[in-house]
Amino acid sequence: MVDHHRQWPITDDLATLRDDIQRFAGQAGLTGARLDDLVIAANEAAINVLEHGGGAGTLAMSTDGAVLAVEVADEVGTLSPAAVPGRRPTGRSVRGFGLWLMGELCDSVTIEQVPGRSTIRLSMYLDTGHLGTGGPAAGAGVAPVRGNVRPI
């Protein structure tokens, strides 16, 4: 039985956190380069918490079988949705750089800001057949949720 939700505290033990992320994402069905992309992106989000987000937070992963989501929450809430750069930052702004990288590597990146907490949400579609068609919502009918066959 695959866990559908797990969460871990963000500490300076990023190596163990990356192992946890890789294991959950692999069990959810993410493989190859897209698995690498998610691990790189989630690691950048965790760095953001350590460097700019007060140094403490949580990383939660969940899946409904169609989408794998990583939510990285800090405990200061200074990161705003406007912080995601549309183009590659050219200066030394590391925060902008990490956020830009997440956008390049994941299918979607959103930021939710409430008083005292900012949450970066990274999403990956588990059925890459949706890519290029505007995502699961595109086209007629309901997107398949489970049991779809993926080439390995």
Partner 1 sequence: MTAAVVVTPVPAHVPDHVLVMALHGALDYTNADRLREELTAAVGEGHRELLLDLSPLDFCDSTGIRILLSVRRLLQERDGGVTLAGLNSRLARIFRTTGLIHAFTVEPDLAEAVGALNSRPGSE
Q: Footprint of partner 1 on this chain (CB under 8 A)?
A: 12-16, 18, 33, 36-37, 39-40, 43-44, 47, 50-51, 88, 94, 97-98, 101, 104-105
Q: How far apart are CA 113 and CA 58, in angstroms?
A: 15
Choice between 96 and 135, CB closer to partner 1: 96
Stated length of the chain: 152
Choice between 114 and 152, CB closer to partner 1: 152
123, β-bridge pairs: 69, 108
Choice between 47 and 76, CB closer to partner 1: 47
Choice between 13 and 64, CB closer to partner 1: 13
* Contacts with 71 (C-beta within 8 Å, 6 or more apart), sequence order: 59, 60, 61, 62, 119, 120, 121, 122
CB of 47 to partner 1, least distance (A): 5
CB of 145 to partner 1, least distance (A): 29
CB of 99 to partner 1, least distance (A): 10
The strand order across the sheet containing 5-10 reads 5-10, 57-63, 67-74, 117-125, 108-114
CB of 104 to partner 1, least distance (A): 5
| Helix pair angle (32-52, 14-28), 10° resolution | 140
> And the tokens for 66?
């169609």
Q: What is the DSSP code (8-state) at residue 143?
A: P
Choice between 10 and 68, CB closer to partner 1: 10
CB of 106 to partner 1, least distance (A): 11
